[in-house]
Amino acid sequence: MKNSEIYRRTLKFSVMRLVRTVLCLVLLAALPLVAFVATGLAGLDETVQLAATGVAFIVALVVFYLVAHYGGYLLTAGQVAMITEGVATGQLPADTYEAGKRAVRSRFATASVYYGLWSVTKAVTNEISSGMNAIARGIDGDNQNGAASVVAGIISAVVGVVLEYLNYCSLGWVFLHGEQSAFKSTCDGAVVYFQNWKTLMKNSAKVIAITLVSLALIGGAFFGVAYLVLGSIEPLTAVLSQIDATATLEDGTAVPAGTSLIVLCAVIALVLWSGIHGAFVKPYLLVSVMRRYIEAGRADTPKVDVYEKLSGMSKGFKKALDRAGEEAPSAA
């Protein structure tokens, strides 16, 4: 089964994830607005109006978190499960959407189990990045703008983009090896990734290049639209101009006019780009990365010394490995 077909047949997860995110964002904006307007029409004083708006915003945030936390994992993990199955077997069920959700419910009893395993691989990548930055700080001392810190920051960002796929690949390994403990499979998956990093890094140039192109095209388009739309709203531009007039840089010089508008548009563009990129571009890249990952894992089984190295590098990995050891007797 070709990568393009696997991507196309698992695309419904991306669409549903994007729809869910859009609806949550609408709720996040609409609920405080409704509270603000309703209290205003009721003739309540400004303090009560602001308090009601704040409470409505907090309620919307809680709903957003609950939907993302307890509903989002089914879509993300379900898509990974089907990508893994398509790559590993060359076949996919007729209804990949429902099959993917069933696979997640079967493999993970609760959302907390899923997020517990997800945190293991996240901890590994975060601790590696932190270690690189710590080495740079040791070289540069208190000079955080030193050459070593700058280089380490760039390398850390690049490595972070590539290693982000470790989370999805390890999750795929969990689905691929349903006969053993999910914690054991997660550890095995991380070991496979790092054991074959030279092979898997061949995808890094493609991943980084497509990510940058996606940011430039999609993010740039969103920035342009936001700048044109927000820049035409006079009350907003007046407020932003006042912020620019009173703000100063670290050296005391005035902030250039229009800076606040540019920053606001950039933030909006990044948020929107992240949603589109995560929904449609990242899964496309994941199919290619997952194929190379599974091929490497099947050809080169996890080695004991890599477990030891990762245990020394990551406390999260060591905890998961210990948990896998505790579950081994019961699994048997």
Query: Of residues 209 and 325, which shows the higher confidence score?
Result: 209
Nearby residues of 197 by Cβ (< 8 Å), 6 or more positions away: none
**Residue 64: which H helix or E strand, with range?**
helix 46-70
Alpha carbons 317 and 310: distance in angstroms, whole number: 7
Instruction: Calculate the alpha carbon distances from 142 to 81, 127, 146, 155 in Å.
Output: 46, 21, 9, 20
Residue 33 has pLDDT above 70, yes or no: yes
Q: pLDDT tens for residues 275-286? A: 899 889 999 999
Residue 103 has pLDDT above 90, yes or no: yes
Q: pLDDT tens for residues 128-182? A: 656 555 544 555 455 555 555 566 566 666 667 777 788 898 899 999 998 888 8
Residue 254: beta bridge partners? 248
Section 203-224 average pLDDT = 90
Tell me the two tokens of residue 55: 């409470």
pLDDT at 138: 52
Q: Which of 34-38, 122-126, 127-131 has the lowest mean pLDDT?
A: 127-131
Tell me the two tokens of residue 125: 């990548």
The three-state secondary structure class of 144 is: coil
Residue 332 has pLDDT above 50, yes or no: no
Instruction: Calculate the alpha carbon distances from 269 to 61, 207, 215, 216, 323 in Å.
Output: 21, 21, 9, 11, 41
Residue 248: beta bridge partners? 254
pLDDT at 4: 94
DSSP codes of every residue in 90-138: S---SSHHHHHHHHHHHH-SSHHHHHHHHHHHHHHHHHHHHHHHHHHHH
Burial class of residue 305, CB neighbours in 10 A (0-12, 13-18, 19+): exposed
Q: Which of 37-41, 116-120, 211-215 has the lowest mean pLDDT?
A: 116-120
pLDDT at 145: 57
Residue 28 has pLDDT above 70, yes or no: yes
Domain boundaries, the chain: 1-107
Among residues 21, 17, 286, the alpha carbon closest in space to that of 164 is found at 286
Assign 67 a pLDDT band (cuts: 50, 70, 90): confident
Q: pLDDT tens for residues 223-268? A: 999 999 989 988 888 888 888 888 777 767 777 888 889 999 999 9
Q: Which residue has the tokens 């990510």?
A: 211
